[in-house]
Structure 1
Amino acid sequence: MITTLFFLWGFVHNLDPILIPHLRRSFSLTVLQAALVDSAVYVAYFVMALPAGMLIRRAGYRPAIIAGLLLFGSGSLLFIPAADTHRYAVFLAALFIIACGLTLLETAANPYAALLGRPERATQRLNLAQSFNGLAAAVAPIVGARLILVQGASDQQLQAMSAGARTAALAAEAASVKGPYLVLGLVIFAIAIVFWFIRLPEPDRPHRPDACDGRHEAAAGAIARAWRRGPVRRAVIAQFFYVGAQVCVFSFFILFAADSAGLSHVAAADYLGWGCGVAFVVGRFAGTCAMRYVAPARLLLVHALLCTLLAAVTMFAGGIACVAAVIGIVFFMSIMFPTIFALGIRDAGADTEMGSSLIIMAIVGGALLPLAFGFVSDVTHSIQLGYVVPLVCFLVVAWFARTVLAAERRAAPVPPLTNGALKRV
Structure 2
Amino acid sequence: MAFASAPTPSSAAHAGADGGRFTDYPAAMASCTVIFFMWGFLTSLNDVLIPHLKALFTLDYTQAMLVQFVFFGAYFLMSLPAGKLVERIGFKFGMVVGLLVAGVGAAMFWPAARWQNYDLFLAAFFVLATGITVLQVAANPYVGLLGPERTASSRLTLAQTLNSLGTTLGPKLGGMVILGTILGADQISKLSDTQLAAYHVQQAQLVQVPYLVLAALLVLLALFVWWVRLPSRLGNVVAADRDHSLWDALRVPHVAYAVVAIFCYVGAEVAIGSFLISYLSQPEIGNISEAHAADYVAYYWGGAMLGRFIGTFLLARFDPRKLLALFAAIAGMLVLASMLSYHGLAMYSIVAVGLFNSIMFPTIFALGIERLGPLTDKASSLLVMAIVGGAVIPYIQGALADHLGIHHAFVLPLLCYAYIIFYGRSGSKIRDVTANQG
TM-score by length of 1: 0.85
Cα-to-partner distance string for 1:295-335 (whole Å, 9 max, x where unaligned): 33332221111111111111111101111111221100012
Structure 1 equivalent of residue 92 of structure 2: 62
Q: Which residue of 2 aligns with 1:214?
A: none
Q: 1:230 to 1:58 in 2, by over 3 A?
A: farther
The answer for the alignment partner of 2:332 in structure 1 is 308
Letter in 2 for 1:33: Q
> Which of the numbers 209, 215, 218 marks the counterpart of 1:185?
215
Deviates more, 1:74-83 or 1:143-152: 143-152
Greater Cα offset, 229-238 or 118-127: 118-127
- Out of 379, 404, 412, the residue aligned to residue 380 of structure 1 is 404
| Partner residue of 1:270 out of 273, 295, 298 | 295
The residue type equivalent to 1:142 in the other structure is K
Counterpart in the other structure of 1:290? 314
- Secondary structure at 1:262 match in 2: coil
Contact in 1 for aligned 2:74/2:126 (Cα 8 Å): yes
Once the two structures are superposed, what CA deviation does each residue of 1:247-277 show, in whole Å capped at 9, x if it has no partner? Answer: 111111000101122111111111222x213
Runs (5+) with no aligned partner, structure 2: 1-30
Q: Residues 184-210 of structure 1, C-alpha deviation per residue, up to 9 Å, x if partnerless?
A: 1111112212322322562455797x6
Instruction: Give structure 1 stretches of 5+ with no counterpart.
Output: 211-216, 412-425
Q: Over aligned residue pairs, what C-alpha RMSD do you find?
A: 2.9
Determine the structure 2 residue equivalent to 1:240: 263
Is the alpha carbon distance of 1:325 and 1:156 closer, same or farther for their aligned partners in structure 2, counting shifts above 3 Å?
closer
> Is 2:168 the counterpart of 1:138?
yes
Q: Distance in 2 between matches of 1:299 and 1:204?
A: 36
Question: Is 2:254–2:428's contact at 8 Å kept on the other side of the alignment?
Answer: no
Amino acid aligned to 2:98: G
1:365 aligned residue: 389
Structure 1 equivalent of residue 303 of structure 2: 279
What corresponds to 1:318 in structure 2?
342
Query: Structure 1 residue 202 and structure 2 residue 234: aligned?
Result: yes
Q: 2:69 aligns with which of 16, 19, 39?
A: 39
Tell me by how many angstroms 1:118 deviates. Answer: 8.4
- Cα distance in structure 2, aligned partners of 1:396 and 1:321: 25
**Structure 1 SS opposite 2:281:** helix
Query: How far does residue 232 in structure 1 lie from its aligned partner after superposition?
Result: 3.8
Partner of 1:344 in structure 2?
A: 368
Kindly state the Cα deviation for residue 359 of structure 1 after the two structures are TM-superposed.
Answer: 1.6
Change (3 A) 1:88 1:299: same
1:229 to partner: Cα distance: 4.5
Matches within 5 A, 1:89-238: 89-113=119-143, 126=156, 128-151=158-181, 155-196=185-226, 197=228, 198-199=230-231, 202-204=234-236, 217=242, 222-238=245-261
Q: Is the 8 A contact 2:368 2:428 kept in 1?
A: no
Aligned mate of 2:416, from 368, 371, 393: 393
Residue 368 of structure 1 deviates from its aligned partner by: 1.0
Q: What letter is aligned with 2:117?
A: R
Pair 1:126–1:87, CA change in 2 (3 A)? same
Maintained 8 Å contact 1:116/1:203 = no
Aligned partner of 1:338: which letter?
P
Contact 2:175/2:294, CA 8 A, preserved across alignment: yes
Whether 2:84 is the aligned partner of 1:84: answer: no
Q: Distance in 1 between matches of 2:237 and 2:423?
A: 28
Partner Cα separation in structure 2 for residue 302 and residue 124 of structure 1: 26
Aligned residue number for residue 418 of structure 1: none
Whether the 8 Å contact between 2:180 and 2:291 is mirrored in structure 1 is no
| 297-306 or 51-60, which deviates more | 51-60
Distance in structure 1 (CA, Å) of the matches to 2:400 and 2:64: 14
Q: Give 1:364 deviation, angstroms.
A: 1.1
The farther-off stretch of 254-263 and 106-115 is 106-115
Of 233, 249, 252, which aligns to 2:275?
252
Q: 1:258 to 1:82 in 2, by over 3 A?
A: same
For 1:187, the aligned partner's letter is L
Match status 1:2 vs 2:32: yes
Distance 2:96 2:37 in 1: 16
1:128–1:288 Cα contact (<8 Å) kept: no
Q: Distance in 2 between matches of 1:33 and 1:118?
A: 48
Distance 1:291 1:280, change over 3 A: same
**In the TM superposition, what is the alpha-carbon distance from 1:13 to its structure 2 partner?**
1.1
The TM-score with structure 2 as length reference comes to 0.83
Which shifted more, 72-81 or 262-271? 262-271
